Structure 1
Amino acid sequence: MTQKLRGREAEERQIVRMLHTVAAGGSAVLHVEGGWGSGRTRLLREAADAAGRLGFTVLDADWSPGAEPGALVGPRASRGPVLVVLDDLHHADPAFAGSLRSLPWRLRDRPIAWVLSRRRHAGGPAADRLFSRPHPAGGRLDLRPLSAQAVGLLVADHSTGAAIGLPDLLRATGGNPLLTVELAQSVHGEAPDGIIDRPPYRVQACVRRCVTELSDACRRFLQVGAVLGVRFALGDVTKMLRRPAADLLTPVEEALAADILACDGDRLVFSQELFWRCVLASLPHPARTALEQEAAVEQLTLAAFDHVGTHRDAAHVEERPAIRLAGPVRQPSGWAELSDTERTVAHLVSQGLTNQQIASRVFRSPHTVNYHLRRIFQKLSIRSRVELARVTLLHYSAGRAPAEDVMDAAG
């Protein structure tokens, strides 16, 4: 049985109103846009079902490059109302999009409802022109993340077990319908924290499909940003990529339009924690380790410049400071609360070791190491291994040797 569409009731009502307008003898064009996994295709299926119940001829057309949009309709409109559904128009040939821009106006005396859909702001200038032309009837739908209530209902619809830890699931999916369904179908009655930390294969595959549709520049930007943490500064990415901020405006806008990133003050944040974790998991381990170490050293160097700049003449500030600073450095907040075991784990993370490698060093299981990492993140109020590496390096740059903090590994 088909599951009920959740969280799009207002959009469904707008579609039904448009269909009634066309059934009475008018014409209409509805533009539908949304980010990745926003449920555009599912909403269009609901529109087709509603039109069928009202006696429409439904043309859920598979368009192809070079096709003539007029051929999609043919003589059908002379026999009664028609619904033409065209999805994923961000992939359309520019000539097709150009023809489609004028066709509804040429056929405005026929009872035709056009539903045109694309990923938000994607597809280039031809698609932008197509979606920028309003129609007196129909209007526009912009599919945003679902409400907490809608996500809860969606989880209940698709989960094979009890929806344990719903607030964590809401945080992890960010109201993304597709990600919510994929995660709910992966939860089999257990608490979600481990699933969120280690996304299931089907969730990772879902994110990979999204990422492959992005431009190469946007994909690289997201990979570097993910290494910096779920929340990161654009300036840090520019330093890692050795490119000016102006060169990254296009990939940033692409990620924002797709609802992958959102703005949080002067920083960017991944809209869904699960998406962020899946991007990290997709990186080859050597690349991820190298990027994490580079990011940690880069942030430590900036901190060192800030410190040295307050004690040297301007003529000497350009000299690259040593890692061990000459003066006192403020201890990272929360460091004193770490246990000996947690300090050991933090030090080994700063050296680029994986959880498995750390486990073999301290004679504990990877699961135990992961537990210690979560506690470290909570105590230091951080969210990523890069931040932990930076905090650890700052602590040791203040003059302490790692051996002074490291416990007896077997103890």
Structure 2
Amino acid sequence: MLIGRGRELSRLTARVRELAGGRGGAAFVDGEPGIGKTTLLRAVCDAAAENGCRVHWGAGDELGRLLPLLPLLEALRAERSDEGQAVLRLLRGEVPTVLDPSAVAAERVLGMVEELCADGPVVLAIDDLQWADKVTVAVLSRLVKLVDQLPLLLVGTLRPVPVRDDLSALWRQLGADGQVSLGPLPAEAIGELVAQLVDAHPTDELLRHAEGAAGNPLYATELVTAVADGADRPGSLAAAIDHRLDFLSEQTRHVLRAATLLGVVFSVADLGVVLGRTVAELLPALDQSTAAGVLVESGDGLSFRHALVRSALYERMSPPVRTAWHLEAARLLADAGSPVERVAKQLLVASGADDWTVDWLCDNAGALIGQSPSAAVDLLRRVLATPRWDARRLSLASRFADALYRTGDFDEAEQVATRALALSADPVQIVWLHHILLQCRSMSGRVAQSLVELDRALSDPDTTGRVRARLLVLTARAHWNLGDADAAEKTALDAADAAPADEWVVGWSLHVRSIVLIMRGDMAGALELLDHAVRVIGRDGATAELSLLLRINRAVALGGVDRCDEAVAAARDVRQLAEHVGNTVRLAQAQSALVQMSYDSGCWDDALVDVDLLADELKNPVVAAADHSIAALIKLHRGDHAAAGRHLAIVRAAQVGRHPVLHMALATSLELEQAGRLDEALAALHTSADFDDVLPVIVRLAVAVGDLDTARETTERVVELAADSEVQHRIGAAAYCRGLVDRDGEELLRAATAYRECGRPLARAMALEAAAAAFVHSGQSSSARAAASRSLDLYAELGAEWQLARAQSVLRALGLRRGPKVKHRRAKTGWDSLTPAEATVAQLVVAGLSNPQIAERLFVSRRTVTTHVSHILAKLQVRTRTDIAREASLRQAASG
């Protein structure tokens, strides 16, 4: 019986009843150690099981707080399912092409939760969140956003200290409805607890002793038990727990002390490994511990009844004994073939770094860095904290620099890599260290320093062959980063000449040359190089990432020559491949390419869905900025300034360094234009004037403000780009700019025709609008009305509400009024506001299909379905999938 927590239990069991009815939710419990959080959580889980819900329980672990996703993997019983095994293989570094295993694993864990929910209501309970790793907290934050879509009750416990920013943000995300705080039990509840403990009416003396517990039920339980057994009143909770443990045999206490090395929750098999005993030999001690209330069952293993019970036993050992035993446990677990994370848990709390630890890290540092760079930093810092590095430590130094880079400590990563580079004679390691230094310095705008060091290395007569070629590749990339396209191109050619049989060198050389051509606007030339690169490189671990990058750039180049269907198919293919191999960097880039293609082709609703498919934290800042810039543009065109402002705030907060973001400039300019600040809108585009798509906008704004010199100069550039070109959007841009400058309606109609041929409806609408104005000025009223009508139709089809209203106002001032073909503006809420894709998903939700089932039915990703459902909920202004079905029934009834 749960004493003194009736109000809190009632709040949480109401959530359980809602869950049984199909409505998800989230609620976390906070309070000091021993206040009853875990007891309350177990009571909620028991209520859920009684209501037919499946319960999955996991817990944070103080020893494993640097290792990603352990509480969730425990809760989901990962070792029992194929998908769980795949996640574990990712985290253990057994999938070598994955760049960010923890990020990919997090996505798959989300999928596992959704799959569970497809079979009915699920309670996911995570105890002791204060010890959870950051990846787990990030996944929980995303699940909180999904509980409206899933029959999922997310519950957890945490202590108010230590204060963590990510947990504080998660707590705020829950809102008041999801925050349950436990304070001390009132005196009458403590009296009831004491009566239950002694199974009799408590004496006044016993109650006075209980008052010393200050309302903490764990302390009260231990204190009363000790006094009832004849002991003097313990002076602290630890002393009270010690009293309970004193009644156990020495053999049992020895087993329990070993168990404390493994954490609050532990595997009996691992305990056997640490003690060198069979399960049968451990059984008497484990039975006695369970009977004494020290241990309880927890999933497939055992758990200390409370973390403070473990702490009392653990802290009885002197620190030197604990350290030595942790190190011995690490060796025994490694010898038994235990996974990297279990060995690392022991090493992380063992001080020092003996030869065995160094050897183990030499064999396992790569896997550990992939799984938990923070844990790797901790261990590698320890083994490298010596004045001199032997050969093994020198080999680990580059690993240390890599781990530091991945954790965002670019300054120390650079320091470590610089020291290692000065000591290393291994050519392969030298190339890798230069690579790390280039990455670190690119984050701080100091690529020029790397260029100097690369030139120095290349001037060494001993730098020849493959090593020289690879250093030349890095040099070419440095030149590109510094904006020296000519030097980048020349050095890339030199690299390929130096090692024509090295696929890595040839592939990167072709990549650098292709992006130089893309920047110059030679999409056809870039496409030729990219096609060649895709053919010549393999798909082994060394070139797998490069292969994805080349295919993404190829898709972009295809779009640049208006081979739009091929471009979309190529981007989708590489997105699927990137997702399959777990390369989130390239997945985000492929997704971003699709966002731009959807924007250009007028599929704006698809673009907005695609922007939301991947969390921003999984994207490079430049990619995230590009995505949100396009979303902002769409929202500005549609007149939704509040939403546009939210996207632009994300863009402006992104650290994009020297990289210009095309659509960021366009969105900023459009925002200024909508504010009536046309001169500033024009000025905002000058830094991005190298981009094709910016030039026609510059001409339009220059004409609008009367800056005809700029309009004519820019038109000359656009015409030059279109010369001898078969690319329709360039032909259209040249005709559009000439038409604007010369106020030539026929030329603007030719622009509209070219834009129609390449499938760019917004550009076509603007060309037609300009043509209508030109025809008015030349007295061709029928041509003006026809162009105006089609222009307004296109704006309406795009949902470009602001553009539509602006164009109507401009055309009205010219004497052109919208005829009877006026289309209704699209609704912003309700069923009529759903896009065709959303309507299809909504029908399948009403039919009772889960998100994974809908994804399988429609041949789209689970993320796409999740995003569609989020948009449907917002547009219908309802909370859950059940509400969608109810609204559909009401709509059908209302329609007769």
TM-score scaled by length of structure 2: 0.21
Higher percent of residues as helix: 2
Higher-RCO chain (CA-CA 8 Å, sequence separation at least 6): 1
Higher percent of residues as strand: 1
In our comparison, the structure showing a higher alpha carbon Rg is: 2
